[in-house]
Chains A and B, each alone.
Chain A
Amino acid sequence: MKLRPKLLPGLVLLVVTALSQSQEWKAPTAMKKLANGLTVVVSEDHSAPTFGLCISYGIGFRLEPEGRTGFAHLFEHMMFEGTPNAPKGVLDRVIEAGGGFLNGDTRYDFTEYIETAPISALEPMLWLEADRMKTLDFSEKNLDNQRAVVEEEVRVNVLNQPYGFFYAIDLPGKAFDTYPNAHNFYGEFKDLDAARIEDVKKFYEQYYNPNNAVLAIVGDVNTQDAFAKVEKYFASVPSRPTPPRPEVSEKPQTAERRSQQPDKLARIPAVAIGYRMPPRSSRDAVVGGVTGELLHNGQASLLYQKLVKEKQVAVSVNGGVNWPLGAPLVYNGPTLMVSFMTYPPNVTEDKLLAAFDEVVAELAKTAPSKEEVERVETKMRSDWYNELESPLDRASALSHAVLFDGKFDSVYQIPDEVAKVTPEEIRAFAAKYLVKTNRTIINRVPAPAADKGGAQ
């Protein structure tokens, strides 16, 4: 049992003062593990009588079974479909009448369940979370219903949208070679259609275990009282074995990969470029995060200034490491630095890429100025604090960190780690990783509608 000593208010003040030298901001936070393996993190915040809660399970797109693309996300929907004790609808009613809202998110390396409400709703919500960690209502009817809902979600977010999220779905598909990292995480309809209630049961038994989960509570709670409440409701959840995490690393890429896609809905062309990034635990990953923001973050970024302002070969530039599915340092397996650019129809793909390559080559040759790097690091500190502002977001950040590292320290240390990155490290990173043999490019071009006889 690991329990951080509770900080006395005076002590907290001292700690904050001492840390202000390094600009670090942190909130009092404590962690504990229950006998069944559930890790619990609590951070007090008495600025409003509310709470944010996040349970992250160590399962995401990456480990969903072959032949069942999209299953981790479809499963996430099933977590809201009730249990034998609390049938479909109860969870929604209790959180809404409790004055709050809830949601779920599936990503490559976690699936999170989040809720926030006035503090009076905390206990029934803890009870309901513990309840759905024990068992679900494995109902065929609800599976059919949520399959239909998920397929509409895919239609509205992918199939009916220009660019169809290709920089997030198709780009990893081309950039990586193994199923865990390359498959369509939203799901092929044939796979979603093939999902059976037995798959739901098996997935639940394998991955939805207290020992594969981190519960974080942030808000108007007393730390010891919050631990006691969690113990009260979750201690009876049985521990089950979770399969060992399989190897998900990739063999190194050896050649540039380029392809072209038609887009029936887009009106102007777009390019997505993905460079493979180093593992998150390495120093290179932090440098990569800063490099990604130097290139992409806002109108001061190198790519915006060169491609949109100076050469005017792009209309918009977005991207960064782990973009668009998470913050630059919140991943736990192979990931990309993504650049997504729309460009004017009178500009060719080659012309855009030539300008892009010029920016990258310059970065690999000459280190950026100290001032430039400091600006980006300051912006990253500011952006990261946004992730910690609301109790809900802070609970989410804490639970992801503990899931990946077994400790929450990185949540408060990231800004200072980022601030240590030097211009020369960035240059060396660009020279090593931002090379053609390490990248994949998809050019997405508007395709004329198939029904040529239609309205012009």
Chain B
Amino acid sequence: MKGLYLAFCLLLLSSALFAQKEQPLPKDMPPYGPEKPMPAPDVKIEKLDNGLTLWLVARPGLPKISSLVVVSGGLASDPKELPGISELLGRTVTTGTKSRTSKQIAEEMQGAGADLSAGSSRDITQVSASMLSAKMNQGLSVLADVVLNASFPDSEVDLAKRNLSSAIDAREAQPGFQANRALAKVLFKDGPYSVVGATKDSLAAMTAADLKKEYARRFRPDQAILIVVGDFSADKMLALVREKFGPWRAPAGPPVAPASVPSVEVEHAAFLVPRPQSVQTTLALAGLGPRRSDPDFEAAEVADGIYGGTFGSRLTLNIREDKGYTYSPGSFLQTLRSAGLVRTQADVRNAVTGASLNEIFYELNRMATTSPTDRELEQVKRNLVGIQAIQLQSRGGLVGELATLWVYGLPPGEIGEHGKKVAKVTAADVDAVARKYFGASRMAVIAVGEEKAVREQLTPLGLPIHPAP
């Protein structure tokens, strides 16, 4: 029914605004079929005596499981004098325990069919392993050993430091990294969220003792969650997890405090990162947006989808499908635990840098000053609900979504609520949220590229141009 109704609307709603771009739907094309409800995952919630939170989802079928341990404390919690130690922690936490060498860990995980990985975002540090169900005892034993007993051998730390140093060199050449780093500095100044990784200087100062201290501070069961999704019986999994993670003990000290809400003042200006020989300009824009747990988050998701977050969005139709300025323009809502951002990015050839930014500003301001059409609103809402269902089909997608909810302090049942909240978003909600967050003057602009070309291109826009901090 809903599908038929929508197809009907699509036929009627070719508004004058889109007259050139929007064609009526083909008359012979069948309408959407009946909607089927998307079942919310059945999450078994447990807490061990040591405070460890467990979210388990048993899914018979493909004989694999995905497991993830998340602990509080990420790049934003790094000690002021050692920014980016989270990065080295991620690279070393899997390289030795009290009873296993790095090689044994790698080999045992390979033998379980597992990919073991560890790393940090701004707010958390995580260790994950996806493995064959038949080998879950072996795989979870090693995962638990890493989480409970990492030993940070000096030789492994030295090697990881050398390789991270090379990786720092290598990423200095990547325009996406340069843009992200500059953006974090411009928005968050010297605050906790300004840290995106280690620097050569901070890396040189890091020691195995520093890593052990950070590990002890973060890896404690009373500020951790273990999420397991896949082909297992919930009872057996619970017993296995109790056995492996039950002995985990929290130290006496205080847990890691979440990053405080930063005060952000965004200067509407261009911040230039010179990149000699660059054949494109990497444009990255950001302004303040809602946090994941804010009541207007879903409306902002819809606004973002209309503006640049989907392939059929205004920005993609404009600067890719109409003008051919770029291959992969897009926007997204970046959610940190204590802050939210509205982001836009596009890599454009040097000669259309100014023209592209002009169109981005236009589309941002159009969002902030005019209402979406009914067709746009309906399309993006249905897209958000459907895409979520598709993502939650995979073990990895569901584990990731559950982890996100936990980080933002939301219950697992929020997965089922999200679609309902999106479905309720109205044009007025989108108008309000777009006015609040999307106006171009709310955005800082990072431009990574050939300095002379970028300056020539951006000068006519009358925007202040500063060197990036």
Contacts and interface: CB of A to CB of B under 8 A. Distances in A.
Interface of A: 23, 25, 47-50, 85-90, 92-94, 96-101, 116-124, 127-128, 131, 144-153, 155-157, 159-162, 220, 264-268, 297-300, 304-305, 308-309, 312, 315-316, 342, 344, 371, 374-376, 378-379, 381-383, 385-386, 388-392, 449-451, 454-455
B25 A94 contact: yes
B274 interface: yes
A100 B387 contact: yes
Nearest to A232: B30
Contacts of B38: 48-49, 118
A359 to B, nearest CB: 15
Interface of B: 3, 6-7, 10, 21-23, 25-26, 28-39, 59, 61-64, 102-103, 106-107, 109-116, 130-132, 134-135, 159, 162-163, 166-167, 169-170, 172-175, 274, 276-280, 310-312, 317, 320-328, 347-349, 378-380, 382-383, 385-387, 389-390, 392-395, 451
Contact of A264 (B37, B277, B390): B277
A96 B64 contact: no
A92 B162 contact: no
Given A98-B382, A159-B279, A49 B36 contact: yes
A285 to B, nearest CB: 22
A386 B347 CA distance: 31
B378 A97 contact: yes
Given A127-B28, A298-B106, A375-B107, A101 B311 contact: yes
A128 B276 contact: no
9 contacts: A87-B23, A96-B382, A101-B311, A117-B390, A120-B32, A145-B324, A149-B327, A151-B349, A266-B170
Contacts of A152: 280, 324-327, 347-349
B347 A155 contact: yes
Given A50-B390, A90-B23, A118-B386, A378 B32 contact: no
Nearest to B64: A385
Contacts of A155: 279-280, 327, 347, 349
A389 B64 CA distance: 9
A315 B326 contact: no
Given A92-B311, A315-B166, 5 more contacts: A88-B321, A89-B22, A96-B310, A97-B378, A156-B328
A143 B111 CA distance: 50
A112 to B, nearest CB: 17
Contacts of B320: 149
Contacts of B324: 144-149, 152
A99 B386 contact: yes
Contacts of B317: 89
Nearest to A116: B390
Contact of B36 (A119, A128, A147): A119
A342 B392 CA distance: 36
Contact of A145 (B59, B163, B321, B385): B321
B386 A98 contact: yes
B14 to A, nearest CB: 11
Contacts of A47: 59, 61, 393
A88, A92, A308 interface centre (most CB from chain B within 10 Å)? A92
Contacts of B26: 85-86, 90, 127, 131
A120 B6 CA distance: 12
Nearest to B386: A99
Nearest to A383: B113
The 6 A-B residue pairs with the shortest CB-CB distance in the complex, in nearest-first order: A99-B386, A382-B113, A148-B324, A49-B36, A153-B327, A300-B106
B451 to A, nearest CB: 7
B278 A160 contact: yes
B311 A96 contact: yes
Contacts of A86: 23, 25-26, 29
A85 B28 contact: yes
Given A93-B312, A300-B107, A385-B64, A117 B170 contact: no
Contact of B30 (A97, A127, A449): A127
A43 B198 CA distance: 47
Contacts of B31: 123-124
Contacts of A161: 174
A297 B110 contact: yes
A375 B111 contact: yes
A124 B279 contact: no
A267 B275 CA distance: 13
Given A49-B37, A100-B386, A378 B3 contact: no
Contacts of B328: 153, 156
Residue from A23, A93, A455 whose CB has the most chain B CB atoms within 10 Å: A93
Contacts of B173: 162, 265-267
A14 to B, nearest CB: 16
Nearest to A87: B23
A454 B110 CA distance: 48
Contact of B276 (A308, A316, A449): A449
Contacts of A23: 134
Contacts of B311: 92, 96, 101
Contact of A156 (B10, B109, B322, B327): B327
Contact of A455 (B37, B276, B278): B276
Nearest to B59: A47
A376 B167 CA distance: 27
Contact of B175 (A92, A160, A388, A390): A160
Contacts of A388: 62
A85 B29 CA distance: 9
A187 to B, nearest CB: 13
Given A48-B38, A96-B383, A148-B324, A267 B395 contact: no
Given A85-B26, A149-B320, A153-B327, A121 B32 contact: yes
Contacts of B278: 160
Given A89-B22, A152-B326, A344-B162, A378 B279 contact: no
Q: Which of A100, A299, A376, A450 has most B Cβ within 10 Å?
A: A299
A195 to B, nearest CB: 14
Nearest to B163: A315
